[in-house]
Structure 1
Amino acid sequence: MKNVLIGTFLRRAGAPRILGIMPGLRINDPLLAAVLDFDTPLLLLHEGTTHGEGPVWDAEGNRLIWSDVISRRLMAWHPDGHVHTVLDPTWFINGNALLSDGTMAHCEHGRRCISVSHPGKEALPLITHYQGGRLNAPNDIVAGPHDTLWFTDPVFGITSPREGYIADPELPHRSVYRYHRPSATLTRMADLDQPNGLAFSPDGHTLYVSDTSRAIGGATHAIQAFTVAENGTLSEEHPFYSVEHGIPDGLAVDQRGWIWTTSETGIHILDSSGCPLGFIRLPYTPTNCTFGGSDNRRLFITCNQHLLALDLRD
Structure 2
Amino acid sequence: MAYEVGRTLRRPAPPEEISDWAGPSFDDVRLQNILAPQARLLALHTGTVHSEGPVWDRKSNRLLWSDVVNRRVLGWYPDGRVETMIDRTFFVNGNAFLPDGVTMVHCEHGRRCISRSGGQGDPEPWITHYQGKRLNSPNDIIVGADGAIWFSDPTFGISIPREGCLAEPELDHRSVYRFDPARHELQRMADFEQPNGLAFSPDGKLLYVSDTSRAAKGDKHEIQSFEVSAAGLSHRRVFCRVGKGIPDGFKVDKRGWIWSTADDGIHIFAPDGRELGMIPTPQTAGNCCFGGENMTRLFIAAETQLLAIDLAEPAL
Q: TM-score range by the shorter chain?
A: over 0.9
**Counterpart Cα distance in 1 of 2:206 and 2:307:** 28
1:258 CA drift (Å):
0.5
**Does the alignment pair 1:33 with 2:32?**
yes
| TM-score computed with the length of structure 2 as normaliser | 0.96
CA RMSD of aligned residues (A): 1.4
Deviation sequence 1:16-72 (CA, Å, 0-9, x none): 001147535221111101111321010000000000000000010000000000000
- Matched with 1:311 is 310
Alignment of 1:45-56 (within 5 A): 45-56=44-55
Q: Matched residue of 1:215: which SS? A: helix
**Counterpart Cα distance in 2 of 1:273 and 1:136:** 33
**Counterpart Cα distance in 1 of 2:18 and 2:63:** 20
- Matched with 1:159 is 159
1:160 CA drift (Å):
1.0
**Counterpart Cα distance in 1 of 2:213 and 2:27:** 29
- Matched with 1:180 is 180
Q: Which runs of 5+ in 1 are unaligned?
A: none
**Counterpart Cα distance in 2 of 1:80 and 1:31:** 32
Q: Matched residue of 2:238: which SS? A: strand
- Matched with 2:170 is 170
| TM-score computed with the length of structure 1 as normaliser | 0.96
- Matched with 1:219 is 219
Q: Matched residue of 1:162: which SS? A: helix
**Counterpart Cα distance in 1 of 2:81 and 2:302:** 18
**Does the alignment pair 1:131 with 2:136?**
no
- Paired residue total: 311
- Matched with 1:44 is 43
- Matched with 2:78 is 79
Q: Which runs of 5+ in 2 are unaligned?
A: none
**Counterpart Cα distance in 2 of 1:218 and 1:136:** 17
**Counterpart Cα distance in 2 of 1:76 and 1:119:** 9
Alignment of 1:232-271 (within 5 A): 233-271=232-270
Letter in 2 for 1:294: E
**Counterpart Cα distance in 2 of 1:250 and 1:49:** 17
1:100 CA drift (Å):
2.0
Identity %: 54
Change (3 A) 1:279 1:4: closer
**Counterpart Cα distance in 2 of 1:20 and 1:242:** 30
- Matched with 2:10 is 11
**Counterpart Cα distance in 1 of 2:21 and 2:267:** 14
- Contact (CA 8 Å) 1:21, 1:38: kept in 2 or not? no
- Matched with 2:290 is 291
Letter in 1 for 2:172: P
**Counterpart Cα distance in 2 of 1:22 and 1:211:** 29
1:266 CA drift (Å):
0.8
**Counterpart Cα distance in 2 of 1:56 and 1:119:** 11
1:5 CA drift (Å):
6.7
- Contact (CA 8 Å) 2:199, 2:209: kept in 1 or not? yes
Q: Matched residue of 1:53: which SS? A: strand
- Contact (CA 8 Å) 2:23, 2:40: kept in 1 or not? no
**Does the alignment pair 1:228 with 2:221?**
no
**Counterpart Cα distance in 1 of 2:244 and 2:131:** 36
**Counterpart Cα distance in 2 of 1:121 and 1:167:** 27
My pick for the range that moved more, 66-75 or 115-124, is 115-124
1:119 CA drift (Å):
4.5
